[in-house]
Amino acid sequence: MLSERLKQSVVQDIWKLRSKGYRVVLVHGGGPFIKKMLELVEIESEFIEGHRKTSAEALKYIEMALKGEVNGSLVNLLNKAGLKAVGLSGKDGRMVLARKRYHMSVQNGKEIQYDLGQVGDVEQVDTILIDTLLDKDYLPVVTCIASDEAGNDYNINADMFAGSLAGALRASHYLVLTDVDGLLRDITDPSSIIRKLRLEELKPLFGSVIKGGMIPKMESCELALRQGARSACIINGTKPESIFEAVNPEKIIGTEICL
């Protein structure tokens, strides 16, 4: 997201997928852009056990960063490559219905609930708008803002948002782009990559092998598969061709999670 060269590489891979007949939906977040925007408007971020608390005021600027800057630039790049990209958020066409999220913590044997402000989870997905665009040969580019039934807006973790969308669309390939080759048994040893995991093998790995930023990515793969996606794979988006190669049934790129 921060490198123009890498963004161009991703766009070229997507163009190749489209030329082979794949229907592509691109979902994105934009943590670094959110951080920069909040610093620019001098809104301090409050964190509760590592989870960002989002005020209504902060959400206005988060939405500006995600929809105005990140989404707009990706749509522009894809259109310059000859594709027909359409920028969206979960709010458009009531595509994604959100619910408020609370962070739960156990302290001294008691469960404590923390209010994270305008942070949400996906409650429901309506794929009609996406399906309509795909049928007309458009490429939806979706960012992770959505509203609840009452019209309150929420920022949703991009990995979980993407997993929910992939499941609802019954995606044949759910690809999660990150900056490592996949899930490593030893983070310091690139050769320790786990190439294939069954869904039931994931749970014992959380907290030991699956840590930090890999947790929401693995959780999103689990969510996608349980809700209807046919395959899920974590790949290194910084390597050219990785996206295109990941849909080749004869190759395993990154870490594949299957039912």
Q: What is the pLDDT of residue 1?
A: 66
Decide: helix, strand or coil at residue 211: coil
Both ends of the chain: CA-CA distance in Å? 30
Q: Which residue has the tokens 């690809």?
A: 175
CA distances from 192 to 234, 246, 255 (A): 15, 19, 11
Q: In the chain, where are the structural domains located?
A: 1-158, 170-259
Q: What is the pLDDT of residue 248?
A: 86
Instruction: Evaluate whether 1-158 and 170-259 have a shared fold.
Output: yes
Per-residue pLDDT of the chain (259 residues; tens, 9 = 90+): 678 888 888 899 999 999 999 999 999 999 899 999 999 999 988 888 777 889 999 999 999 999 999 999 999 999 999 999 999 999 999 999 999 999 888 888 888 899 999 999 999 999 999 999 999 999 999 999 999 999 999 999 999 999 999 999 999 999 999 988 999 999 889 899 999 999 999 999 998 999 888 999 999 999 999 999 999 999 998 887 889 899 988 887 899 999 8
Q: Which CATH superfamily groups domain 1-158? A: Acetylglutamate kinase-like (3.40.1160.10)
Q: Say if strands 46-48 and 51-53 run parallel, antiparallel, or are unpaired.
A: antiparallel
Q: What are phi and psi of 92, to 5 degrees?
A: -65, 130
Max Cα-Cα span within the chain: 58
Q: Which CATH superfamily groups domain 170-259? A: Acetylglutamate kinase-like (3.40.1160.10)
